Copies of this chain bind each other. A is one copy, B any other.
Amino acid sequence: MKTPRRGAQGAPRGAGAVDLSVTLGPLRLKNPVVAASGTFGYGTEFLPYLRLSDLGGFVTKGLSLKPRRGNAPPRTCETPAGMLNAIGLANVGVEAFLDEKLPALRRHDTVVIANVFGETQDEYVAVARRLNGAPGLHAIELNLSCPNTDKGGIAFGVSPPVVRQVVAAVRRAAPGLPLIVKLTPNITDIAVAARAAREGGADILSLVNTFLGMAVDLKARRPVLDNLAGGLSGPAIKPLALYMVQRVYREVDLPIMGMGGISTAQDALEFMVAGSAAVQVGTVNFFDPKASVRIVREIAAWCRKEGVRAVREIIGALRLPPGAPPAPRAV
């Protein structure tokens, strides 16, 4: 049975009446939908399909100090309701981004977020310093899933002290930009890394990056990906990401951009109810290039239908069972 449609039965509300804007610490977005790093190129690739100004914002492909060509192919593989990728962080490098990509974005009224990574803390710092103050750039997002060559290739994001350090160093290097820290889900308790990022000075947390996975080519008896392993993304991971978002929301006092398998407005709203102040949409851009703006539109329609005047009202609205423990009971 349906609950009565409040928006439809009460006084008529104009289409413009829904307030979609959200504020995450120092960052204000016109709506809560942000295209995720590595799935939206440098933004202009999507101009045939949508207006960038209809998006809350977008995150660039991860940028390193020097251009990177990435891993040998095969780099991707479809899996049940998901895909693996091992692109190897191919990108044009921070200089080419500033010279060639960023200027073309200034005429579009949207929030541009540069995703940053390095193989050492110094590289993170150098990229962030270079981006600090760049006109038309609104925030940086630190990708902590990158392997740390100083620590034998373990991802930065799994060691709380390393997280604290690299975040603090980047914080100092780019004082003028809101700092989003993107967490890896390949960790026993993501709240621990989230807390470390907060201590390091993060303004916003984004989660989750991809889950480590692999695929086997049975005929050849080889890994499908040349890199052996890759990162799993897409609808398959949605329940895992949603759990982590909810956990970090309850444990750490920082605004969250949640992501992982979002492909509809319903998915996006579920993340918001679980504690995301905004959402990022990734893999869906590959199989439905208009999805990001479709989701914005559908969120507005849902708010009208449900009588929600401002979408920010639903952030963290999840009603937990009475006495819900911080960790779930036996499953």
Within 68-119 of A, Cβ neighbours of B (below 8 Å) are at 71, 79-82, 84-89
- Residue interface bits A284-322, CB-to-B below 8 A is 1, else 0: 000000000000000000000000000000100111110
Output the least CB separation between A30 and chain B (Å).
Answer: 22
Output the least CB separation between A239 and chain B (Å).
Answer: 3
Once the chains are docked, how many angstroms separate the CA of A318 from the CA of B213? 15
A215: B residues at CB distance < 8 A:
239, 242, 270
Once the chains are docked, how many angstroms separate the CA of A64 from the CA of B188? 26
Output the least CB separation between A230 and chain B (Å).
Answer: 5
Once the chains are docked, how many angstroms separate the CA of A145 from the CA of B243? 17
CB-based nearest B residue for A226: B321
Stretch at the interface among A9-17, A43-51, A161-169, A217-225: A217-225
Once the chains are docked, how many angstroms separate the CA of A188 from the CA of B189? 8
Q: How many copies does the complex hold?
A: 2
Once the chains are docked, how many angstroms separate the CA of A122 from the CA of B145? 39
Within 208-244 of A, Cβ neighbours of B (below 8 Å) are at 210-216, 218-223, 226-232, 234-240, 242-243
A324: B residues at CB distance < 8 A:
228
Asked if A236 contacts B188 (CB within 8 A), the reply is no
Asked if A330 contacts B147 (CB within 8 A), the reply is yes
Asked if A238 contacts B318 (CB within 8 A), the reply is no
Asked if B325 contacts A216 (CB within 8 A), the reply is no
Asked if B82 contacts A239 (CB within 8 A), the reply is yes
Output the least CB separation between A228 and chain B (Å).
Answer: 5
Asked if A228 contacts B328 (CB within 8 A), the reply is yes
Asked if B153 contacts A327 (CB within 8 A), the reply is yes
Once the chains are docked, how many angstroms separate the CA of A212 from the CA of B188? 10
Given A3-B219, A229-B243, residue A236 in contact with residue B269 (CB < 8 A): no
A239: B residues at CB distance < 8 A:
79, 82, 84, 213-215, 230, 232
Output the least CB separation between A77 and chain B (Å).
Answer: 8
Output the least CB separation between A310 and chain B (Å).
Answer: 16
Asked if B188 contacts A158 (CB within 8 A), the reply is yes
Asked if A320 contacts B223 (CB within 8 A), the reply is yes
Output the least CB separation between A247 and chain B (Å).
Answer: 9
- Residue interface bits A12-26, CB-to-B below 8 A is 1, else 0: 000000000000000
Output the least CB separation between A324 and chain B (Å).
Answer: 5
Once the chains are docked, how many angstroms separate the CA of A87 from the CA of B330? 8
Taking a contact as CB atoms closer than 8 A, the residue among B220, B229, B320, B327 that contacts A331 in the complex is B229
> What 6 A-B pairs come out closest when comparing CB atoms?
A213-B239, A229-B328, A80-B235, A81-B81, A236-B236, A80-B81
21 A-B pairs whose Cβ atoms sit less than 8 Å apart in the complex: A3-B219, A71-B329, A71-B330, A80-B234, A80-B235, A80-B261, A82-B236, A86-B330, A86-B331, A88-B331, A147-B329, A152-B327, A153-B325, A187-B188, A188-B188, A214-B246, A215-B242, A216-B273, A221-B317, A223-B318, A227-B328
